[in-house]
Structure 1
Amino acid sequence: MTTTTTMIAWTQAAYGGPETVTRNELPVIEPGPGQILIDVAATALNSADVRLMRGEPLLVRLGFGLSRPKQPVQGRDVAGRVTALGDGVTGLSLGDRVAGELDGGGLAQAVLTEAAKVVAIPDNVSDVDAAAVPLAGGTAWQALEAAAVSADCRVLILGAGGGVGTFAVQLAKLRGARVHALSRPEAFDALTRLGADEVSDRAELGTLPRDHYDVIIDLGGVAPLRSLLQLLRDGGRLVSVAGGEAHVFGPLGRMLRGVVLSIGRSRKFVPLMATAKPEITRSLLELVASGRLTPLVAATLPLAQAPQALALVDRGGQIGKVVVAVDRGVPPSSRA
């Protein structure tokens, strides 16, 4: 049982920008069967958080609330310590450090979740690094799996400087691939340190050689699909993780176009809708613990600046992840 009854959380009463997120005091809910309560140490933010904050594309409101978010607290990637266990929870103990991709709720001092959604954090991995891993690292992992990236593959990654991209570069190198990273020039040094064999300005896409790459990982969602398919060798795979900025239907239109364009061709379009997979998070954290994978954190802000953190992600352009850190040295009822 937790000894605190209230917590600070940043909530939304309506869809909109970061200015709609306000500081509130909420009750701490005891876990039910199969659930745990986590004292939040760090929450990493993703583009998914700002899309849900804004309720865009409009299609997502069918599942997440028509006029306002069903989950009023954003923040899906959480690291922290278990403070209460519901009936039937096994494999976890009070005080265990855990991380996972949850259903939101991370921009708070505590969060309730199903125990099955989290995995243990290795002792030598920080809370900030652990929070940065689940969604971005998991998406990169699933994209490379979908593309069947193996040793000696020539891999082009669009949007390589973002949260997913910085993981994709490293994971592709761990598979033995030769990686060409496209991003803004400001990210070139970081991408080279992470192992990219070549780095180019995203504006140079039109100058890249045709029939050259085995795999393209598209994290930007704006480059013309026909042009990307022309860059592939016969039998190559274009994995589309992002789907552009369509206001109503989001990625669906782009994904449909990609499938149509690849019909009857040896160059295949592979749409990816990544999902939370705790077993992948566990493998990624093991790689971090071993020093083979580095979460790149662009900025760490305190919980008191949660709206500013959301604004950073909303604006885009960071090299790596934005993380909100919570002071775990103060009880939830008095932290700010």
Structure 2
Amino acid sequence: MPYHQLAIAQFGEPSVLTLQAASTPSLAADQVLVKVAYAGVNPIDAKTRAGLGWAAQQNKDNLPWVPGYDIAGKIVEVGDNVKSLEVGERVAGFIGFPLQGGGYSEYVVVDAESLSKVPAQIELVQAAALPLAGQTAWQALEKAKVSASDRVLILAGAGGVGHIAVQLAIAKGAEVFASCSAANVEFVSGLGATAIDYHRGRLEQQIDPVDVLIDLMGGEVGCAALACVKTGGQVLTIPTNTAERVCQQAQQLGLQAEGMLVAPNVAQNDAMLKMLAQGKLQLHIAAQFPLAEGARAHQQIESGRTRGKIVLAMGVQ
């Protein structure tokens, strides 16, 4: 059965994303075939497409390569050993990370154990936007040992990871501050955080010292935000390309600092899907693009002004 995928034909600008035809691969005994309804678009996808980062280096001889680590859809076939999932069930997951990818596709073969069942109350578009960003937020807060009464500063609080991290930190009982643009102050405040407009001056001049910094920006912005953390405080930085620099500067300031690479975790995904179903977590979808217009999705995510998440739509199911 022929279907379409959006692939990185060569490294470069968003225009290198190319629609290609594929035929359905055979299933291993522990796998399922998913008809994808939506695929999440993440900054790592654009970074890899540009030829940056480990996934790009490892796949430079495997082009064309299909990016995408977030999917949601319906199961259309199950392998012989799969007992936990059935044809017709709605599923979502964090797949193929970091080297396989494959989410920008109308159909994808996935290990059954890597998928979550999507609660009836949750639309598939929401389920597709959650896995990578949600698990990054969850694991960052865990690694930084955020707990009740902690003062936490989250950089880029309106972004895909940021707006989830804000809510999860508040659910832990933390007092949360989040940097954002003036246009996103109302949005971030609505999530329960104290919004800090970075255009109004240095962050440390706008808030008292915090216990924990969750750095989703890295580079100059991440380093500058270290001034907001009290001596002995905790710094968790996400962007891998500047993690060493941020950590070194943090340690010179007497802070505890480390980087992090997210790892797929189905139990965490299940927990957040349950929170979504119960209304305890909001997931904002900034935009949807058809699969064939993935270049526009990449242009938007590279603008750095995305509120929440972007998804690719394969067609309504």
TM-score computed with the length of structure 1 as normaliser? 0.86
Large movers: runs of 4+ above 6 Å: none
Q: Which moved more, 1:108-117 or 1:198-207?
A: 198-207
Alignment partner, residue 234 of structure 2: 237
Corresponding residue to 2:138 among 136, 141, 158 = 141
Answering whether residue 118 of structure 2 is matched by residue 121 of structure 1, we say yes
Residue type of the partner of 1:116?
A: E
**Which residue does 1:51 correspond to in 2?**
47
Shift of residue 223, structure 1, vs aligned partner = 3.2
Q: 2:73 aligns with which of 59, 73, 80?
A: 80
Number of aligned pairs? 313
Q: 1:109 to 1:32 in 2, by over 3 A?
A: same
Deviations 1:112-153 (A, max 9, x none): 111121111111000011011100011011111111111111
Judging changes above 3 Å, is the alpha-carbon distance between structure 1 residues 206 and 287 closer, same or farther for their aligned structure 2 residues? closer
Could you tell me the percent identity over the aligned residues? Answer: 31
Cα shift readout 1:157-215 (whole Å, capped 9, x = no counterpart): 11111100110111111111111110111111111111113432256235436871011
1:92 aligns to what?
85
Q: Give yes or no for contact 2:203–2:225 (8 Å, CA) kept in 1.
A: no
Give the Å deviation of 1:25. 1.8
SS in 2 for 1:130: helix
| Distance in 2 (alpha carbons) for counterparts of 1:85 and 1:94 | 7
Q: Are the equivalent residues in 2 in contact too, given 1:259–1:269 (CA < 8 A)?
A: yes
Give the equivalent residue in structure 1 for 2:275.
Answer: 287
The 5-angstrom pairing of residues 285-324 of structure 1 reads 285-324=273-312
Contact kept? 2:185, 2:195, Cα under 8 Å: no
Structure 2 counterpart of 1:334: none
Q: Does the CA-based 8 Å contact 1:14-1:67 persist in structure 2?
A: no
Q: Is 1:61 paired with 2:49?
A: no
SS at match of 2:220: coil
| Pair 1:174 & 2:200 matched | no
Relative to structure 1, is the Cα distance of residues 302 and 93 closer, same or farther in structure 2, using a 3 angstrom cutoff?
A: same
The CA deviation string for residues 281-316 of structure 1, in whole angstroms up to 9 with x for no partner, is: 111111101100011111112223222222222333
Amino acid at match of 2:164: F
Give the secondary structure class of the aligned counterpart of 1:223.
Answer: helix
Superposed displacement of residue 20, structure 1: 1.2
Gaps of 5+ in 1: 244-250, 330-336
Secondary structure of 1:73's counterpart equals: coil
Q: For 2:278 and 2:297, how far apart are their aligned partners in 1?
A: 29
* Alpha carbons of structure 1 residues 7 and 148: separation in structure 2 relative to 1, 3 Å: same
Q: Which runs of 5+ in 2 are unaligned?
A: none
SS at match of 1:214: strand
Residues 202 and 267 of structure 1, relative CA distance in 2, 3 Å threshold: farther
SS in 1 for 2:201: helix
Return the TM-score normalized by structure 2. Answer: 0.91
**Are the equivalent residues in 2 in contact too, given 1:211–1:230 (CA < 8 A)?**
no
CA deviation vs aligned residue, 1:42-94 (integer Å, no higher than 9, x gap): 1110001111212213x44342x234547x22221100011111122221111
Q: Which moved more, 1:162-171 or 1:266-275?
A: 266-275
When residues 150 and 273 of structure 1 are mapped into structure 2, their CA distance, relative to the original with a 3 A threshold, is same
For 2:79 and 2:199, the matched residues in 1 are separated by 49
- Counterpart contact for 1:39–1:328, Cα < 8 Å: no
CA displacement at 1:270 relative to structure 2: 2.0
The Cα offsets for residues 2-40 of structure 1, whole Å up to 9 and x where unpaired, read as xxx111222232222221112222101131121111000
Deviation per residue, 1:238-277 (Å, 9 max, x gap): 110124xxxxxxx2xx333344445587521121111211
